[in-house]
Structure 1
């Protein structure tokens, strides 16, 4: 498989089948599981761009939908599942277990990349397993991980745009509750979605460096 190619797979999240895209470069150094943010999916252009960069860096990537099609339809009406951090975290944890068993990712060190509410789900999942070796949050809401922040053992990088002031404040408050090694990186001139020229590339660079250091 080329570094830019992915394969559609189904992840068994303890009895719930989740659609996912698995990309595996030659001789991967680790695997990064993506937890998307509220109202998004594995087709998120921003996450896919970061995933492609990580594959070029030599990491396998798993982008998955944390909700089923039926749940997505329900959530578009009610909006409540996208903020069910407990449910999302269970599914992130299940995907980590899945990578530990899958024939092409078995035995690889695992990192998590979370965006928006997906960052909270990633941190809650990381707090419950030794399999996760590193976490990166992009414009995330780590504050929504609550008490789990103090139980996270994996080194955690929080990436926030300088113009995303409210979320930056929330990240700083959450960082004070982290006991694991952690760092906040502020991308100058970037807003919440990192749509400014070069902003997303900087996110990918920072994530790649963090995973190289800790995976």
Structure 2
């Protein structure tokens, strides 16, 4: 009976979650990965300011993509709770709250990013070097903010990975990938926020982030194309029970 309940997902909700996963990956890769690399020059406020002013269209697209990620995150957080609450209400709530905490930090992070534009395009932006320095501070705060929300996201993935492993609606290896790979986000966040520089940790982080990225994409694709259909394991269990 328990297994049967766990596999009775709403297919449209599962597919919506899968679509949101892929949309977040695309928008987030653009706004968090590509755009800052084109604008921010570490330790050079003048160059960062010049890059932003020369690429204002790209900056605005990044803001739109970041805003979309936040909205998509709100939706997928609720959907995942809906899908997994029968597996474990407590752990599903942990996953929901930790991802909600991540969303709050992402919103604050977006504010820092937008403030850099406000500082540099103000009426006295070029009267001194102070606006450049302040904008660079906003860029640096935005970069560190990413490592803060990674801590919340890592906690979310630990809970989500546990839920996937306990559920029979998704292959267990995806759950293990999410659970183990979550330590990539957690370790990287702690390393960057404590200014730790250990080469071995960097290599471990890269390996774990590869694992979790592949697991997240595979999990999203599974939800999108399977729509919560029972796995072969669960079908065999239900047949045996019958």
TM-score relative to the length of structure 1? 0.30
Q: Which has the higher contact order (CA 8 A, sep 6+)?
A: 2
Report the TM-score when normalising by structure 2.
0.27
Please tell me whether Structure 1 or Structure 2 has the larger radius of gyration of its CA atoms: 2
